[in-house]
Amino acid sequence: MSEQNSPIQADSLPRQDIKTNPSYTANPVLLMTQTDSRDKWSKKMDFLLSVIGFAVDLGNVWRFPYICYQNGGGAFLIPYTLMAIFGGVPLFYMELALGQFHRTGAISIWKRICPIFKGIGFAICIIALYVSFYYNTIIAWALYYFYSSFTGTLPWTSCDNPWNTPNCTNYFGKSNVTWTTFSKSPAEEFYTRKVLEIQKSSGLYDIGGIRWQLILCLFLIFTIVYFSLWKGVKTSGKVVWVTATLPYIVLLILLVRGATLPGAWRGIVFYLRPDWEKLMSTAVWVDAAAQIFFSLGPGFGVLLALASYNHFNNNCYRDAIVTSAVNCLTSFLSGFVIFTVLGYMAEMRDVEVEDVAKDKGPSLLFITYPEAIANMVGSTFFAIIFFLMMVTLGLDSTFGGLEAVITAVMDEYPHILAKQRELFVLSLITICFLGSLTTLTHGGAYVVKLLEEFGAGCSILAVVLLEAIAVSWFYGIQRFCNDVKAMLGFTPGIFWKVCWVAISPAFLAFIIVSSLLDQPPLMLFDYHYPEWSISVGYLIGASSFICIPFYMVYKLVWTPGSLKQVRKS
């Protein structure tokens, strides 16, 4: 795919300006675009673990396994792999290369690529804020479970608790109990009636009061995040050695335990059994493309930010291949962990596996899996390590998402924020905490679902699409490839160029159009979202994307000269 040459020793060459170097496009040499005062990763592994930690998140544990078995089991791996090769990985590589070459965040980088697209950077920051408003609440739920697990008998084991209802049915180990459509497991009632207390809310019209226990959990989460980010990559790079590696240890422990459970084989067969007819459905290919893009995370500005602290000659090509492969394999591994347990539950309930896993959302993590854990030998131990894994998985992604905003804003306004990082990070964390308060109410789960559906849905895909177009068509694919050659000593091959120019943007356009044309009714538990809330959701999605055309209009109106001059100025 590439032509190998000896890499240029970048850090020893004098600083130059890209626009004043007339031989740049024909004979690329190192062009220092950043002063040596910029922070750098202490070790290469700090960077790799940070990228892996961002890409491997809670969605790998619940979304991929469910989508896989919903869309043809083992057959789904075919569209998933193709979408990764031709769509996700090329854009992942592109963002790492952009961040490493220009050494700046998601806003100011557009001054050097195509200034008229600078609104993309502002849109990325707004999307990151929306994600922080709900994603950290899910981590707070996991922390609540983690705290509740330190007991001899897990609180979601029986129906004898104050929050249980007459519909609570504990069927494990009991042959005389019948499971009906009205039955609720102890784990489900613990999640809905104890953790969320959703029974005290009638929906988005009345979300109720704030759960103080969840506020304390969220405060602790943001405290950890603050002290991990306040000094920059020097501190966050050390924290990820724990948060990015611990989940793999826990996954392996849970996989071994799950494989020894009665009926585990039923879950594995269901997970991998190919349904070739599913491949004829457009929805399967849309799901595969959406899963790979949201899993790898191009467009969130995180890869730009993390790569901007690399040394100029770091091999970002190899990093992109390695971290993408780790992410995809982690998703596949987590499927085995989840479905061994689902097979066990199907065996215990005497039902089919498809009747156990009916929800791809957080309830798979907070109802289905905890229910199985509660009935294992050593349940307390497995509950503690499982929810500890969930907390660390979530923290990694939060580190990356907020670092993207921090880097973008500080690079855009260095004269104001250069020496005020600690204060700026504290202000950002405070904004995220206050923005999360509605998700901590009795009806907070409804708000989480709304933000999850619209806060970073089609808007982030549209951002990635415009980013790919701006780099490949406006900045120029040859110029971008020259940048890569200046860093790595070799030019990307024809495969990467074709993907960047045509295939990856086409995949993204396909997902966006298909998603907009097929909008299933939004519901959570038994609650159907009213029409006005769907309109609010669309406004949330549009509020970030609208920055892009607004900035284009501003640039065209206030910058003198022709369109070509405006585009380059």
Quick: pLDDT tens for 151-204: 988 999 888 889 998 888 876 655 566 666 777 889 889 999 999 999 999 889
Q: In this structure, how many other beta carbons lie within 10 angstroms of the beta carbon of residue 423?
A: 11
Report the mean per-residue pLDDT for the chain.
84
40 CB contacts (<8 Å, ≥6 apart)? 233, 309, 310, 311
Residue 130 contacts residue 452 (beta carbons within 8 Å): no
Place of tokens 């501190």: 235
Question: Residues 49, 435, 529, 139: is their CA dihedral positive or negative?
Answer: positive
Q: In Å, what is the CA distance from 311 to each residue of 24, 40, 67, 564?
A: 20, 7, 38, 33
Higher pLDDT, 173 or 432: 432
Residue 66 contacts residue 360 (beta carbons within 8 Å): yes
What is the model's pLDDT at position 475? 93
Binding residues: 53, 55-56, 60, 295, 327, 393, 396-397
Segment 405-432 mean pLDDT? 91
Gap between the Cα atoms of 297 and 436, Å rounded: 22
Closest to 348 measured CA to CA, from 358, 356, 357: 356
Residue 122 contacts residue 535 (beta carbons within 8 Å): no
Higher pLDDT, 349 or 464: 464
- Report which DSSP code applies to 8: P
Gap between the Cα atoms of 100 and 442, Å rounded: 44
Is the confidence at residue 7, as pLDDT, over 70? no
- Tokens of residue 384, six digits: 């503690």
What is the model's pLDDT at position 4? 38
Domain 10-568 has CATH 3.30.830.10: no
Is the confidence at residue 318, as pLDDT, over 90? yes
Binding residues for Na(+): 53, 55-56, 60, 295, 327, 393, 396-397
Is the confidence at residue 38, as pLDDT, over 80? no
Percentage of the chain with pLDDT > 90?
41
Q: What is the pLDDT of residues 79-128, one digit of tens each?
A: 888 889 998 999 999 999 999 999 998 999 998 898 999 999 999 999 99
Pairing relation of β-strands 523-524 and 527-528? antiparallel
- Tokens of residue 249, six digits: 């240890």
Q: What is the CA radius of gyration of the chain?
A: 24
Long-range contacts of 44-48 (CB under 8 A, 24+ apart): 44/314, 45/241, 46/233, 46/237, 46/238, 46/240, 46/241, 47/237, 47/306, 47/307, 47/309, 47/310, 47/314, 47/319, 48/319, 48/322, 48/323
pLDDT band at 37 (very low <50, low <70, confident <90, very high): low
What is the model's pLDDT at position 569? 58
- Tokens of residue 270, six digits: 């269901």
pLDDT band at 359 (very low <50, low <70, confident <90, very high): low
Tell which phi-psi region holds residue 298, choosing left (phi > 0), alpha (psi between -120 and 50) or beta. beta
Is the confidence at residue 22, as pLDDT, over 60? no
Q: Where are the domains of the chain?
A: 10-568
Place of tokens 């990093």: 319
Helix axes 212-229, 379-412, angle to 10 degrees: 60
What is the model's pLDDT at position 107? 93
Determine which of 11-25, 34-48, 70-84, 134-148 has the lowest per-residue pLDDT on average.
11-25
Is the confidence at residue 24, as pLDDT, over 90? no
Residue 69 contacts residue 339 (beta carbons within 8 Å): yes
Is the confidence at residue 336, as pLDDT, over 80? yes
114 CB contacts (<8 Å, ≥6 apart)? 470, 471, 474, 475, 567, 568
DSSP SS3 for 556: helix
Is the confidence at residue 396, as pLDDT, over 80? yes
Alpha helices in 470-530 (DSSP H): 477-488, 494-498, 504-517
What is the model's pLDDT at position 20? 37
The model carries a pTM of 0.87
Q: What is the pLDDT of residues 39-84, one digit of tens each?
A: 788 888 888 988 888 888 887 887 788 788 777 777 888 888 888 9
pLDDT band at 561 (very low <50, low <70, confident <90, very high): low
- Tokens of residue 267, six digits: 């879950």
Q: In Å, what is the CA distance from 1 to each residue of 228, 490, 497?
A: 38, 10, 10
The angle at the Cα of 476, spanning 569 to 481, to the nearest 5 degrees, equals 125
The angle at the Cα of 59, spanning 53 to 60, to the nearest 5 degrees, equals 65
pLDDT band at 391 (very low <50, low <70, confident <90, very high): very high
Q: What are phi and psi of 205, to 5 degrees?
A: -70, -30
Is the confidence at residue 27, as pLDDT, over 60? no
Determine the residue type at 496: W
Is the confidence at residue 12, as pLDDT, over 50? no
Gap between the Cα atoms of 72 and 273, Å rounded: 7
DSSP SS3 for 492: coil
- SS3 string, 521-538, reads CCEECCEECCHHHHHHHH
Gap between the Cα atoms of 400 and 110, Å rounded: 20
> How many residues in total does the chain contain?
569
β-bridge partners, 184: 168
What is the model's pLDDT at position 212? 93
Percentage of the chain with pLDDT > 70?
89
30 CB contacts (<8 Å, ≥6 apart)? 8, 10, 13, 16, 312, 486, 487
